[in-house]
């Protein structure tokens, strides 16, 4: 068990939120018990995750997608009321780290996605240097974008949307977890043969065909499933806390 304040300090030291310009508050989003004993980690602070955390007797939730984002109307109605009511009624702490949890060089979503896919980052690209550019850890190439897509499908257990016009060998791979469509052009400029992220939007399909760089969308949720449990497990071991990752399936 540890004090909530120590838990927050440990996370802030690890993830350094002050280094990022983000879309919502990083750190403690909803205050619960003063002591932390059991963490549930997950991708998103959805009602289903909060209910699962209550059932697991957690006092603390750590997620990548918290409750509060720029552009919300700020009203506690509908789904927001339901989620907050559950957290407050059960005195559960909600901690959320967005970009800092994408970027941590070992435990973050991008590093952990690379690990799952057997890729090593050699450099970074794009806004706030969040994108990873590298290659296969074994030094080999993928014979084609189709081979890379099949490899991702195997590694993360879901289908991949592939847009690619050519059957070129894939040596340099860029990746950025979640909804990083807007990083595609920076990945092309950085010299990638293929770009992996969670989502695709209409324009990127054309850029892929026109620039000869493969685009692989493997799911926003699926690509961001690895960072929060890695961070939570690390901090739980450091502070002597219990930890459980709960995956709430999401096809998006
Ligand atoms: Zn995300």
Residues of the chain whose pLDDT is less than 70? none
* Ligand 1 centroid distance, CA of 179 (Å): 6
* Ligand 1 centroid distance, CA of 207 (Å): 22
Give percent helix, percent strand, percent coil of the chain, each to the nearest 5.
40, 25, 35
User: Contact, 235 vs 184, CB < 8 A?
Assistant: no
pLDDT at 41: 98
User: Contact, 192 vs 175, CB < 8 A?
Assistant: no
* Ligand 1 centroid distance, CA of 11 (Å): 19
pLDDT at 168: 85
pLDDT at 165: 78
* Ligand 1 centroid distance, CA of 79 (Å): 19
* Ligand 1 centroid distance, CA of 149 (Å): 21
User: Contact, 197 vs 126, CB < 8 A?
Assistant: no
* Ligand 1 centroid distance, CA of 211 (Å): 26
* Ligand 1 centroid distance, CA of 110 (Å): 11
Select from 118, 112, 131 the least CA-distant residue to 233: 112
Q: What are phi and psi of 231, to 5 degrees?
A: -65, -45
* Ligand 1 centroid distance, CA of 221 (Å): 7
User: How far apart, in whole angstroms, are the C-alpha atoms of residue 156 and residue 169?
Assistant: 22
* Ligand 1 centroid distance, CA of 96 (Å): 12
* Ligand 1 centroid distance, CA of 101 (Å): 10
User: How far apart, in whole angstroms, are the C-alpha atoms of residue 155 and residue 87?
Assistant: 34
* Ligand 1 centroid distance, CA of 166 (Å): 29
- Distances in Å between the Cα of 146 and the Cα atoms of 20, 63, 172, 194 are 35, 32, 15, 11
- Distances in Å between the Cα of 188 and the Cα atoms of 54, 175, 213 are 44, 11, 7
pLDDT at 194: 98
* Ligand 1 centroid distance, CA of 241 (Å): 26
pLDDT at 126: 96
* Ligand 1 centroid distance, CA of 64 (Å): 7
User: How far apart, in whole angstroms, are the C-alpha atoms of residue 56 and residue 53?
Assistant: 5
* Ligand 1 centroid distance, CA of 220 (Å): 6
Per DSSP, the three-state class of 246 is: coil
- Distances in Å between the Cα of 53 and the Cα atoms of 45, 88, 99, 202 are 10, 13, 23, 37
Q: How many C-beta atoms surround the C-beta of residue 167 within 10 A?
A: 12
pLDDT at 235: 98
* Ligand 1 centroid distance, CA of 4 (Å): 25
Select from 102, 19, 113 the least CA-distant residue to 65: 102
């Amino acid at each position: 068990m540890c004090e909530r304040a120590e838990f927050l300090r440990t996370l802030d030291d690890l993830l350094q939120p002050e280094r990022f310009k983000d879309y919502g508050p990083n750190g403690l989003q909803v205050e619960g018990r003063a002591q932390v004993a059991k963490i549930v980690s997950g991708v998103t602070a959805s009602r289903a995750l909060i209910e699962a955390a209550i059932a697991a007797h957690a006092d603390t939730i750590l997620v990548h997608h918290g409750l509060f984002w720029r552009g919300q109307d700020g009203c506690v109605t509908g789904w927001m009321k339901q989620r907050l009511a559950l957290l407050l009624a059960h005195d559960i702490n909600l901690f959320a780290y967005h970009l800092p949890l994408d970027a941590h060089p070992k435990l973050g979503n991008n590093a952990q996605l690379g690990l799952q896919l057997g890729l090593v980052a050699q450099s970074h690209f794009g806004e706030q240097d969040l994108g990873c550019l590298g290659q296969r850890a074994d030094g080999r190439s993928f014979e084609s974008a189709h081979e890379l897509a099949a490899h991702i499908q195997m590694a993360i257990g879901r289908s991949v949307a592939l847009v690619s016009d050519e059957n070129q060998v894939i040596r340099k791979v860029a990746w950025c977890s979640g909804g990083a469509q807007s990083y595609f052009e920076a990945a092309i400029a950085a010299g990638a043969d293929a770009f992996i992220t969670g989502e695709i939007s209409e324009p990127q399909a054309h850029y892929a065909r026109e620039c000869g760089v493969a685009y692989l969308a493997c799911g926003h949720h699926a690509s961001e499933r690895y960072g929060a449990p890695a961070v939570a497990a690390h901090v739980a071991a450091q502070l002597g806390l219990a930890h459980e990752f709960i995956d709430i399936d999401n096809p998006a």
